[in-house]
């Protein structure tokens, strides 16, 4: 059957005309193939019109995917108890024979994986409506724009797309009769009624998320959790990394924020942190302006590095969002406006979550069902009131600190890049690198972090995660590092590179206050302009006590003692040397194509650490440098 006949069999006249108005046969054929495969009852095509946006929003409530809460515009979505995080084990690249991305990247042969997932998708939308959504990654009509279409049978996913991404129907008008766009096909699969009455994916054991890099297609089935199903997020991100590598730019797991400096100056920073390591909170520090909290594209424009937010919303971890530490987000979450809560506790139509700064009810409805304090699951694990990976989905422009430069088609000029992870015993709170190579390799390519509830698996285990991008890489680690190093060629005014650590502990207690990061970022801002002196050390440059004392008073109204400074900025040489050895061994044994410059830079750093240890001992106060 010709693709037009297939489309006519499932689309009414209005939706057929909307789809055929796009001058791209590849779009039409992709929808027709999905119809033949998934067998929906009907098809809705979302354009950029507000009426289509409203239809999706209302559908999410009427079909039970979301439930309205007491506050205007707020809804709650529940995923099943077994579908609460990204699923790395079942997220794989579909590769042709002979293609090797390295042992750390999960993949399967395309000849095996593609028939498997297409088989799981067969008939998956029977009796349901197929939703065809068009969006744009990056600002529309700009050098950053990537058109993306997603087909899904989940109104929750379609609603989330509308909050998280720019409308792209008009952008697809410019695609023409080509295939230079990303495609996503998702189905929840067979549904069942969850313990809390919500419709949830039934066959979680058959949850699969496969990515075809050759055809730029994501397939996802038998899952609802947004990290596995909102294909424009981390799934399309994998394809963007590959595209960037071929075209000479960078697709990064980074926030974008504007940090204030002296005289009313604003400097833009990007930053890469693994999940639940302070990434969103750094982008949202009070007094800063937010451009984006998660994904960014970096391009060379003349002698500058320009960056843009891939997204237009935030799918953020809600645990510990409270009025003291995250006032802008908390205000957005507790005032009328369109947003989706997921997997929090609901009591009498009001959402509650862990660490929100108030006592939680003793009972309510959550991701497990009808919950009461002290409940345990079948394995004897305590069920928290709200899941540790519970989320909120909002539009960035609804935040009080939204930066209008977010929509600048040229992006914003980067003054600095920040790398951080969870590190309880090794690095000082903030360090400036000696330059691009040193920062990228010893800070970005060497990130280790304790695991969190954002990913299925054990919590509290320290793992390697270069640039906080390892879960999403679509190329070998060595090729990725080489791409980063090559990107810097020809740019004389590169962004400064910094490493931060908010999780340093002593006797089990954090040495950093939650808002101390405001000071570390303000110090980095002034250093990015060549202001303030710094202490030269073996791993980079560190702040002077007098400068931090002044910044703590100005930024936080807080006295900063010499004792605080010594505890935070003492160099822990045994731990630093041990980390150096771990990282070097990892690249020697697990990455066959590591650039040789990496080992040279790491050897030079080790030599500096050993020299200082021989002269000063294991633990060296910053006053002794």
How does strand 74-77 pair with strand 91-95? unpaired
Q: Contact at 8 Å (CB) between 274 and 421?
A: yes
Q: Is 434 exposed, middle or buried (0-12, 13-18, 19+ CB in 10 A)?
A: middle
Both tokens of residue 167? 């409308």
Q: Contact at 8 Å (CB) between 207 and 90?
A: yes
CA 313, chain centre distance (Å): 11
Q: Given 38, 136, 277, 332, which residue is catalytic?
A: 277
CA distance 40 to 152: 10
Closest by alpha carbon to 332, among 392, 289, 276?
392
Known active-site residue 24: no
Closest by alpha carbon to 202, among 272, 91, 120?
120
How does strand 496-501 pair with strand 412-421? parallel
In 362-450 the beta strands, taken as DSSP E runs, fall at 363-365, 370-372, 391-395, 412-421, 430-432, 448-450
CA distance 152 to 128: 10
Report how far apart the first and last C-alpha atoms of the chain are (Å, whole number).
76
Read out DSSP for 229-241?
A: H-TTTHHHHHHHH
Q: Contact at 8 Å (CB) between 55 and 132?
A: no
Q: What are phi and psi of 422, to 5 degrees?
A: -95, 115
CA distance 487 to 270: 16
Residue 191: strand pairing partners: 201
Residue 497: strand pairing partners: 417
Which positions are catalytic?
Answer: 277
């Amino acid at each position: 059957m010709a693709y037009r006949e297939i489309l006519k069999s499932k689309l009414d006249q209005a939706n057929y005309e909307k789809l055929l108005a796009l001058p791209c046969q590849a779009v039409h054929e992709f929808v027709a193939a999905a119809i033949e495969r998934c067998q929906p009852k009907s098809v809705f095509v979302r354009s950029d019109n507000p009426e289509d946006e409203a239809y999706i929003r209302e559908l999410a409530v009427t079909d039970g995917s979301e439930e309205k809460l007491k506050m205007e515009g707020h809804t709650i979505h529940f995923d099943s108890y077994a579908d609460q995080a990204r699923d790395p084990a079942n997220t794989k690249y579909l590769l042709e024979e002979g293609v090797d991305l390295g042992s750390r990247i999960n993949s399967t042969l395309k000849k095996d994986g593609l028939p498997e997932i297409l088989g799981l998708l067969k008939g998956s939308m029977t009796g349901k409506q197929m939703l065809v959504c068009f969006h744009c990654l990056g600002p529309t009509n700009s050098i950053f724009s990537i058109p993306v279409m997603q087909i899904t049978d989940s109104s929750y996913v379609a609603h989330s797309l509308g909050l998280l991404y720019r409308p792209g129907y008009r952008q697809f008008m410019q695609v023409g009769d080509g295939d230079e766009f990303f495609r996503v096909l998702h189905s929840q699969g067979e549904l069942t009624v969850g313990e809390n009455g919500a419709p949830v994916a039934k066959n979680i054991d058959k949850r699969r998320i496969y990515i075809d890099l050759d055809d730029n297609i994501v397939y996802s089935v038998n899952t609802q959790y947004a990290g596995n199903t909102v294909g424009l997020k981390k799934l399309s991100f994998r394809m963007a990394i590959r595209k960037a590598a071929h075209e000479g730019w960078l697709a990064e797991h980074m926030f974008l924020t504007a940090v204030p400096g002296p005289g009313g100056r604003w400097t833009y920073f990007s930053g890469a942190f693994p999940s639940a390591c302070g990434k969103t909170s750094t982008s949202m520090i009070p007094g800063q302006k937010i451009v984006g909290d998660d994904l960014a594209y970096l391009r060379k424009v003349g002698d500058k590095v320009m960056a843009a937010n891939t997204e237009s919303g935030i799918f953020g971890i809600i645990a510990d969002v409270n009025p003291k530490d995250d006032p802008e987000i908390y205000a957005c979450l507790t005032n009328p406006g369109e947003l989706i809560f997921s997997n929090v506790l609901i009591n009498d139509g009001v959402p509650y979550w862990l660490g929100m700064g108030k006592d939680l009810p003793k009972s309510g409805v959550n991701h497990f069902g009808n919950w009461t304090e002290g409940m345990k699951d079948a394995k004897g694990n305590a069920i928290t009131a709200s899941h540790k990976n519970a989320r909120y989905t909002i539009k960035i422009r609804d935040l009080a600190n939204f930066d209008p430069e977010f929509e600048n088609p040229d992006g914003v000029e980067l003054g600095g890049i920040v790398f951080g992870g969870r590190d309880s015993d090794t690095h000082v709170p903030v360090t400036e690198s000696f330059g691009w190579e040193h920062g990228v390799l010893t800070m970005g390519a060497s990130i280790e972090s304790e695991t969190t509830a954002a990913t299925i698996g054990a919590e509290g285990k320290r793992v390697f995660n270069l640039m906080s991008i390892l879960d999403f890489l679509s190329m070998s680690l060595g090729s990725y590092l080489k791409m980063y190093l090559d990107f810097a060629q020809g740019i004389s005014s590169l962004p400064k590179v910094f490493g931060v650590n908010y999780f340093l502990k002593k006797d089990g207690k954090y040495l950093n206050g939650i808002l101390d990061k405001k000071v570390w970022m303000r110090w980095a801002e002034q250093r990015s302009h060549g202001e303030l002196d710094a202490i030269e050390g073996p791993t980079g440059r560190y702040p002077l006590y007098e400068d931090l004392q002044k910044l703590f008073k100005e930024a936080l109204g807080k006295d900063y003692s010499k004792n605080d400074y010594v505890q935070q900025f003492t160099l822990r040489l045994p731990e630093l040397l041990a980390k150096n050895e771990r990282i070097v061994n990892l690249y020697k044994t697990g990455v066959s194509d590591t650039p040789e410059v990496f080992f040279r830079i790491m050897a030079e750093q080790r030599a500096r650490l050993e020299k200082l240890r021989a002269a000063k001992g294991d633990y060296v106060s910053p006053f002794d440098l």
